[in-house]
A = this chain, B = another copy of it.
Amino acid sequence: MDYQYIMAYDTVLEALADPTRREIFERLRDGPRPVGKLADGLPVSRPAVSQHLKVLKEAGLVTDRKDGTRRYYGVNREGLDELRAYLDEYWEDVLANFAVHLERDTAAKDKKNDD
């Protein structure tokens, strides 16, 4: 089986790096929208929006549902999980490491003051 959605945090980062895609993703915040509605008011053409939606979909950030001649795109609620987890983990790591070095530096400083 081949997976259509990736959702790895790096793919998500690359998908959200483009301002137009961020704007589209933003417009999905409060519910699914058809492609036309999403393109409406954007400074780019509708086909461009289709292409962006494809990238967002492959990153696992959105899902689509067909309804007649329209296709509704909505956010995939698990799409951000990996990225959020990665950032949390990274942050924890940095804080922990900072604490270690602060302790070490303090110890070194204390030792220096021993003379």
Contacts and interface: CB of A to CB of B under 8 A. Distances in A.
A98 interface: yes
Contacts of A87: 80, 83-84, 87
List the number of copies, as a whole number: 2
A58 to B, nearest CB: 15
Interface string A58-76: 0000000000000000010
Interface string A39-80: 000000000000000000000000000000000000101001
Given A88-B84, A90-B29, A91-B84, A17 B19 contact: no
Interface in A9-56: 10, 13-14, 16-17, 19, 22, 29-31
**Which size class do A's interface residues fall under?**
20 to 34
A71 B62 CA distance: 42
